[in-house]
Chain A
Amino acid sequence: MDRRRFLKFAAGGAAGATLAASVPYLEPMLRKPQLKTERREVPTTCEMCVNKCSIIAVVEDGVIHKLNPNPESPRSRGMVCARGNAGLQQVYDPARLKRPLLRAGARGEGKWKPVSWDEAFDFAAEKLKAVKEKCGPQGTLWSSTESFQETFFKSLGLALGSPNVERHPTLCLASVNLAYSLTFGTVPSFDLLNARYIIMSGANRLESFIMPDTVDLVGSTTERKARLIYLDPRFTVTAAKADEWYPIRPHTDLAFILAMLNVIVGENRYDKEFVATYCSGFDKLAEHVKTYTPEWAETETEIPAKDIIRIAREFADAAPRALYYAGRRSSWYRDDFPMRRAQAILNAVIGNWDRQGGMVPNAKIALGEYMFLPWDDPTAPRVDEMDKNFPLAAKGDGAYLKMRENILEGKPYPVKAWMIHKQDPMNALPEQAKTLRMIEQMDFIGVIDVQMSDMAWYADVVFPESTYLERQDPVEVLAGILPVVVYRQAVIPPLHDTKPTLEIVQGLAKRLGLSQYFDYTIDQWIDAQVKELPLDTPLEYLKHHGVYASPDGPKYGTTLKPDHRFVTQSGKIDLYSDRLREAGYDALPVYQTPMQPPAGRFRLILGRKAYFTQANTTNNPWLNTFAPENVLWIHPASARSVGVEDGDRVEVRSSVGSITVKARVTQEIRPDCVFTMHGYGKRSKWQSRVAGAGASDAEIIETAWDQVSGGGAFHETFVKVRKV
């Protein structure tokens, strides 16, 4: 039900009041009007997903009444999505974390003892010191997800002497980031606003994630009639809005892209001047793609060769306002990286680099830095052995799944303490049984979060963080075609006994003898950051506006100078990569025919909805009403083959576990695939709306990772389905 309909209902008086009792959405709208004594509007920055949109909090009598969009941001442009609207429930949800907690029963039993901050700090510091004494500092693991205060958390682990910081990109965009970095020396933005021809592989932009890219895409396709070609085994909202939808056979996108290259190069439709000036290794690429014909690709992808040829020609003809969109998805397969790199190469040869409607290197705004003499380097290698296993990947992010394997095997050394910052590895990692085994073997687990996640549920100590509407954060630059500086200030003081991450880190650092690395306030940190902004009173400006945008508009072509040096090994755009070859990988993307599910099994594919941030917001009181439980999408023919009807409860079993959910029999998915949503079947009883509602896909997804980036690969699982 959308907001407009809610408002209509809300006007319905008594009927609305009755409805309000059952639908938490309506309650704030139906409160009796009261005389307000104080009303403030506070510009700040959303934290309900990674996109960091600018918002304005409306505060009445000390209560956040509403979160509005901030029209001053050229990125979010007057837009706040469902998640952004529902953010105030993070503050007022009665089930949020309100004070430090020590575990009072067995791990996962759900018995907690409220304690003071001093008790929580003392307990955690003693445990960390004991593990450091027993295993060395490398025996501590520090896992985090993206937030403006993540830097303080990571710094505590590094200052203690641990090399083991594991970040979220290794479960997300690692293969995309590495593919574009190795090709162009950077990860560009995609100018969807001005593109005329867009191809997307599984990037379900119109349904999975409402962000500026989404808005640009809507504008491009509906107002400016850009052509959208969409490849996905599932009929998503993006498929419904696309000009052409191809239910491609999973794991064959690389064949489609290589065949496009075969046509574009073979028919001399590439941008010869651009390739000659800015690219290296074109001759080797031309030779390499000769065998990848559209006819061959048809047998792999099930997309007719005539369509591949036509799309390739149209794509090249629309250049430079044509792009193969990288999207924001996790890795899918063990060989995900070559597919992402083939996309990058295809974009390069049509010359869409740094052109309007193509790919644009990100513009930035310089910030200052609070400087202090950092810690010594750790003496031990990383536990995930990045140098050996993923020599080209971003070492600071780590490789989560290889890390878990090594820790379970106790190699190359034992890891016995686990600190987690706002991440839920219980749901974020595949094969939950392995995560539980890792938890069992830890001497100590500490979690910082705003809610009792499944990971917090298994912790020994839980540090409650103040929500993003109750704290001030470091300033952040959002690089892009239109770069901005965003500021998050406290809208209201903390409602409960919570602290921002910096203060939690400082409390631990003091007890670990590391205070010298955290001897600053958040104000000092921010002052150092903003002093280089071209403003007379930068902090006052940010407090008043919430966002600073460069007065310059988009700039295209800043790198299109023959002497421009790309940050690559050759100094040009590396179509052929010596760096990959030297590291023992294919220098050009090589296609290997993938394994498809055997008879009686289905490939489990994943996807997202715009109202949920991974597993993080399914319990939000407002957002949960959109989808109270997850179901299994299954094609009618497949359902018939296993004796399942719509609404039946089915067991979904993989080699690592099984779950039970309701079946949704639909033609909106290929017969060889099944699909379910993420973030349900929680173990944490404090997540009462999704504890036991539906099931957690993390229980059945098998462990696999991309071989080059080390990023988790999430579409490698085959499952059996049966009625229960």
Chain B
Amino acid sequence: MHRASKLQTVSKIIFVALILIVATTLLWAGNEAKGKYYFKQNCKECHSKGAVGGEITPMSKTQAQWKAYFATGKHNKRVEPLTKIMPDDQLRDVQTFLANHAVDSLQPETCGK
């Protein structure tokens, strides 16, 4: 294979990889503020202190654990699809909210609100 052709192939691979990376990023780049709203509206009833599902907050898991949790697509001991609770686009927002405030996330504090 000519050098020019090799370069073209490598360039194509890099291009496709970049597209995949961007697409993957965008796929999970939900709206954090909306995610908080959906989480409080749909999840807190069962996942507050003393409630049936036990308290869950963003700090309950690391970012990797939240990613793995949403990858299963299931909840309630992995028997019920998450989409039964809310549609995919809302789940994406909730995942963004939870991951951005996970226990190992970067959360520089500020003054006031």
Chains A and B belong together in one complex? yes
Interchain CB contact under 8 A, B110 and A177:
yes
Given known pairs A372-B37, A375-B33, the reply for A181 and B108 (CB within 8 Å) is yes
Q: Which of A50, A178, A376, A579 contacts B112 (CB 8 A)?
A: A50
Asked whether B4 is an interface residue with its Cβ less than 8 Å from the other chain, the reply is: no
In the complex, whether B84 has a CB less than 8 A from a CB of chain A is: no
Contact yes or no, B111 A369, CB < 8 A: no
Q: Are A396 and B110 in contact (CB under 8 A)?
A: yes
Tell whether, in the assembled complex, residue A394 and residue B33 are in contact, meaning their CB atoms are under 8 Å apart. Answer: no
- Report which of B33, B34, B59, B111 forms a contact with A169, defined as CB distance below 8 A: B111
Assess whether B113 is in contact with A150, with CB atoms less than 8 Å apart.
yes
* Contact flag A172-B111 (CB < 8 Å), given A371-B40, A371-B41: yes
**Docked CA distance A567–B63 (Å):** 12
State which of B37, B41, B103, B111 has its C-beta within 8 Å of the C-beta of A146.
B111
Asked if residues B110 and A397 are in contact (CB atoms below 8 Å), the reply is yes
Q: Contact mask A304-327 → B, CB, 8 Å, 1/0?
A: 000000000000000000000000
Assembly CA distance A187 to B107 (angstroms): 11
* Interface bracket on B: 10 to 19
Q: CA separation between A539 and B112, bound complex, in Å?
A: 22
CB pair B110–A169 under 8 Å, yes or no, is yes
In the complex, what residues of B have CB within 8 A of residue A187's CB? 109
Q: Which residue on chain B has the smallest CB distance to residue A178?
A: B108
B80 located at the interface, meaning its Cβ lies under 8 Å from any Cβ of chain A in the complex = no
Give the distance to chain B from A416, nearest Cβ to Cβ, in Å: 26
Cα-based distance from A180 to B40 in the complex (angstroms): 29
Q: Is B106's CB under 8 angstroms from A392's CB?
A: yes
Q: Does A569 contact B (CB under 8 A)?
A: yes
A397 CB to closest chain B CB, in angstroms? 5
Q: Which residues of A contact B33 (CB under 8 A)?
A: 374-375, 377
> With a CB–CB cut-off of 8 A, which chain B residues contact A377?
31-33
Which residues of A lie under 8 Å from residue B105 when comparing CB positions?
A: 567
Interface flags for A426-465 (1: CB within 8 Å of B; 0: not) read 0000000000000000000000000000000000000000
Asked if residues B108 and A371 are in contact (CB atoms below 8 Å), the reply is: no
Q: Are A181 and B37 in contact (CB under 8 A)?
A: no
A182 CA to B107 CA, complexed, in Å: 8
Bound CA–CA A186/B112 (angstroms): 14
Which residues does chain A contribute within 8 Å of B112, judged by CB atoms? 50, 146-147, 150, 167-169
Q: Could you say which of B33, B37, B40, B110 has the most chain A C-beta atoms within 10 Å of its C-beta?
A: B110
CB of B45 closer than 8 Å to a CB of A: no
List B residues 69-110 near A (Cβ within 8 Å): 103-110
Q: Which residue of A lies closest to B32 (CB)?
A: A377
A168 touches B108 (CB 8 A): no
Out of B32, B37, B59, B104, which one reaches A568, CB within 8 Å?
B104
Which residues in A have their C-beta under 8 angstroms from that of B109? 177, 180-181, 186-187, 394
Check if A167 sits within 8 Å of B110, measured CB to CB: yes
Contact between B111 and A185, CB atoms less than 8 A apart: no
> Looking at chain A's contact residues, is the secondary structure mostly helix, strand, loop, or mixed?
loop
A263 contacts B by Cβ under 8 Å: no
How far, in Å, is B109 (CB) from chain A's closest CB? Answer: 5
Chain B residue contacts of A50, Cβ below 8 A: 111-112
Q: CB of A571 within 8 A of chain B?
A: yes
Residue of B nearest to A570 (CB): B104
Contacts of B32 in A (CB 8 A): 377
Say yes or no: B110 contacts A394, CB within 8 Å: yes
Q: Which residues of chain A are near B108, meaning CB under 8 Å?
A: 177-178, 181-182, 392-394
The answer on a CB contact under 8 Å between A567 and B40 is no
A168 to B112, CA, bound (A): 9
A299 at the B interface (CB under 8 A): no
Which among B32, B103, B104, B109 has the highest number of chain A CB atoms within 10 Å? B109
Chain A contacts with B in 258-308, Cβ cutoff 8 A: none
Which A residues are in CB contact (< 8 Å) with B34? 373-374
Name the CB-closest residue of B to A377: B31
A510 to chain B, nearest CB (A): 21
When A372-B37, A373-B34, A373-B37 are in contact, do A185 and B107 touch as well, CB less than 8 Å? yes
Residues of A within 8 A of B37 (CB): 371-374
Bound-state CA distance A372–B112 (Å) is 21
Contact A567 B59 (CB under 8 A): yes
Which residues of chain B are within 8 angstroms of A177 by Cβ–Cβ distance? 108-111
Measured in the bound complex, the distance between the Cα atoms of B104 and A565 in whole Å is 9
> Which residue in chain B gives the minimum CB-CB distance to A187?
B109
Of residues 659 through 712 on chain A, the ones whose CB sits less than 8 Å from some CB of chain B are: none
Say whether A151 faces chain B, with CB atoms less than 8 Å apart.
Answer: yes
Smallest beta-carbon distance A647→chain B, Å: 39
Contact of A30 with B by CB under 8 A: no
Closest Cβ of chain A to B54, distance in Å, is 17
Min CB distance, A565 to chain B, in Å? 6
1/0 contact trace for B16-40 toward A, CB 8 Å? 0000000000000001111001001
Q: How far is the CA of A181 from the CA of B108 in the complex (A)?
A: 5
Chain B nearest Cβ from A494, distance in angstroms: 24
Is A369 within 8 A of B104, CB to CB? no
CA distance A393 to B107 in the complex (A): 9
What's the minimum C-beta distance from B84 to chain A, rounded to whole angstroms?
21
- The answer for the CA separation of A177 and B111 in the assembled complex, in Å, is 8
Contacts of B113 in A (CB 8 A): 146, 150-151
Chain B residue with the shortest CB-CB distance to A180: B109
A80 to B110, CA, bound (A): 25
Residue A135 lies at the interface, judged by CB distance under 8 Å to chain B: no
Write the nearest CB–CB distance from B51 to chain A, whole angstroms: 14
Nearest-CB distance from B27 to chain A (Å)?
15
Q: CB distance B31 to A376 under 8 Å?
A: yes
Closest to B101 in A: A567
Chain B residues with CB under 8 Å of A396's CB are 110
Does B104 lie within 8 Å of A567, measured CB to CB?
yes
| Per-residue interface assignment for chain A, residues 562 to 575, with 1 indicating a CB less than 8 Å from any chain B CB and 0 otherwise | 00010111010000
A172 to B110, CA, bound (A): 10
Q: How far is the CA of A185 from the CA of B106 in the complex (A)?
A: 8
Expressed in whole angstroms, the Cα–Cα distance for A168 and B113 within the complex equals: 11
A571 to B105, CA, bound (A): 10
CB distance from A618 to the nearest CB of B (A): 22
The distance from the CB of B112 to the nearest CB of chain A, in whole angstroms, is: 3
A497-518 CB contacts (< 8 Å) to partner B: none
User: Knowing A369-B40, A373-B37 touch, does A571 contact B104 (C-beta < 8 A)?
Assistant: yes
A178→B105 CA distance, assembly (Å): 13
Among the interface residues B31, B40, B108, which one has the most CB atoms of the partner chain A within 10 A?
B108
Report Cα–Cα, A632/B106, bound state, in Å: 42
Q: Which residues of B approach A to under 8 Å, CB–CB? A: 31-34, 37, 40-41, 59, 103-113
New contact pairs (13) apart from A394-B108, A396-B110, CB-CB < 8 Å? A146-B112, A146-B113, A151-B113, A172-B111, A177-B108, A374-B31, A374-B37, A392-B106, A394-B110, A567-B103, A567-B104, A567-B107, A579-B106
Question: Can you pick out 13 interface pairs between chain A and chain B where the beta carbons lie within 8 Å of each other?
Answer: A50-B111, A50-B112, A146-B111, A150-B113, A167-B110, A167-B112, A168-B112, A173-B111, A178-B108, A182-B108, A371-B41, A394-B108, A397-B110
7 pairs of A and B residues whose beta carbons are closest in the complex: A146-B112, A374-B33, A394-B108, A181-B108, A187-B109, A169-B111, A394-B110
